Every structure is written in C-alpha cells, then in structure tokens.
C-alpha cells in the first residue's frame, strides 16, 4: 500500500490550485514539500492518472530505453523534459537508465528483475527451441529499426500532447475574453 492515499494527493493538489503554496501545504498535511512538488509536476503532466499508484510496473525494452537516452542526448534536454515527451512518470527512471548504460552499455539496459534473460543478438527459431544467432549487421539493423519506431511513436505522442495543450490554451483564452 502507498504511504499516501490518492485522495490525499488530490486534496493537496486542489488546495494548491486554490493558491496555497507547497511550503504551507507541507506544514498543514505533514508531507515533505519536495514530495508535494513531485505530485504537482506529475499532475500537470499526466492529470489524475499521474497521482494513482500503478498496479504493475511498466516494462520497457532495452531498445526503447536506448532510444529515450539518444533522444535526450540529441535534443540536449533534461530528464524531466524527456520523461514528459515519452510519457514516463518519473524522470529518475531515465537517470537510472543513463547510469546503467554508462556503466554496462546496452546490456545494462536489458536487465530485468528476477531471472536474467538474453536480450541482444538472439531470436527463437519457429520449430526449434535453440536460439538462432543474428549476424552483427542484422542485430544493428534490428536495433536501428526499433529505435526509429520508438522515436516515431514518441514523436506522435509528443505531437498529440502538444495539440491537446494548444487546444486547452485556446479554450482558456476564449473563456477570458467572454
């Protein structure tokens, strides 16, 4: 069970929207102000869903993680901005991926909880349970295609989010004019 309930988080967010600051809310609810700031950030990015505890951990492929790190590097943006683009709840997840990649390379991004699996360079044959080795060029092409696919999916999500934000902004300016 989560230390703080969803309803407490929503209550704090509503009070924040009424004009109370994180410091005052921290004192009133006995919650660290950094925690409240994190909830506010998650609420702004993901809405109510950003405050709910996930029932299962989201699993990302090694290729996806690498494409996120490459996107961040190519665009020279922060972990927070990268998390917003890719819809990842916490920027520290990306920082963790970067640390693992710096220490262990691509194989560090493939690690999962529990029993280790082979991530790179193998595929299952149809009628044979022995893995078939991919050639280096096939492996590189596969990784490149997956990265391109993840990039295009992220770009599409980013565009949709941007369009939604622009529609929201236009709606707010129309309300103000009336």
Record the pTM: 0.46
Q: Kindly indicate the confidence band of residue 124, based on its pLDDT and cuts at 50, 70 and 90.
A: very low
Give CA separation, 97 vs 10, 60, 64, 103, 138, in Å. Answer: 30, 11, 11, 10, 25
What are the residue ranges spanned by the domains of the chain? 6-51, 62-177
Residue 114 clears pLDDT 60, i.e. is over it: no
Cβ–Cβ under 8 Å, residues 110 and 120? yes
Residue 41: pLDDT band (50, 70, 90) is confident
């Amino acid at each position: 069970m989560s230390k703080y309930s969803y309803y407490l988080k929503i209550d704090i967010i509503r009070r924040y929207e009424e004009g109370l600051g994180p410091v005052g809310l921290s004192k009133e609810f006995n919650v660290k102000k950094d925690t409240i700031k994190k909830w506010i950030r998650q609420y702004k990015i993901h809405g109510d869903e950003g405050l709910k505890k996930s029932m299962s951990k989201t699993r990302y492929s090694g290729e996806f993680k690498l494409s996120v790190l490459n996107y961040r590097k190519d665009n020279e943006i922060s972990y927070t901005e990268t998390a917003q683009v890719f819809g990842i709840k916490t920027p520290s997840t990306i920082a963790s991926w970067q640390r693992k990649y710096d220490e262990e390379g691509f194989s560090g991004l493939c690690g999962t909880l529990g029993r280790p699996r082979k991530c790179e360079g193998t595929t299952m044959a149809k009628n044979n349970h022995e893995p078939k080795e991919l050639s280096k060029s096939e492996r590189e092409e596969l990784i490149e295609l997956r990265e391109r696919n993840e990039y295009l999916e992220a770009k599409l999500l980013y565009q949709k989010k941007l369009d939604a934000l622009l529609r929201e902004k236009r709606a707010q300016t129309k309300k103000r004019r009336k």
